[in-house]
């Protein structure tokens, strides 16, 4: 069975600092991995995804994530935080190659301080 663990329910950084949001997954099949962002009272927006191929994936708004199979990790990073990055971030793993169902982590709230 697939599962996702996001380490740290709240992360606070200063504007301009590195953003690092941690995600570890468990999957019995080669995983498809996703990061979504959610702003208050809105749905989730896809930031980036890993399916196959290059393990470093780039997404929107300057975010990127690296798939590390040996560490079962898919951490999200951004070199320089902006105030507009403050939101909730969810890591997700595909539940299997045929369903499209995603299993989400519990989320990490990113606070950006001026």
Instruction: Give residues in contact with another protein (CB under 8 A).
Output: 4, 9, 32, 34, 36, 41-46, 49, 51, 90, 92, 94-95, 97-107
Per-residue tokens: 109: 């709230």
Residue with smaller CB distance to another protein, 41 or 84? 41
Residue with smaller CB distance to another protein, 55 or 106? 106
Among 95, 110, 109, 106, residue whose Cα is nearest residue 5: 106
Residue with smaller CB distance to another protein, 100 or 114? 100
Say which residues have a Cβ less than 8 Å from residue 66's Cβ, sequence separation at least 6. 55, 56, 57, 73, 74, 75, 77
Cα 31 from chain centre: 14
For 99, the 3-state DSSP assignment is coil
| CB 102, min distance to another protein, A | 7
| CB 105, min distance to another protein, A | 5
| CB 3, min distance to another protein, A | 11
């Amino acid at each position: 069975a697939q599962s996702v663990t996001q380490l740290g329910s709240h992360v606070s950084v200063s504007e301009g600092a590195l953003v690092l949001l941690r995600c570890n997954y468990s999957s019995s099949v080669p995983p498809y991995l996703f990061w979504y962002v959610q702003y208050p009272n809105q749905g989730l927006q896809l930031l980036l995804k890993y399916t196959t191929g290059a393990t470093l994936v780039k997404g929107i708004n300057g975010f990127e994530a690296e798939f590390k199979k040996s560490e079962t990790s898919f951490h999200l990073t951004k070199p320089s935080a902006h105030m507009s990055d403050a939101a909730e971030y969810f890591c997700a793993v595909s539940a299997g190659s045929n369903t499209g169902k995603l299993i989400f982590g519990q989320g990490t709230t990113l606070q950006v301080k001026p």
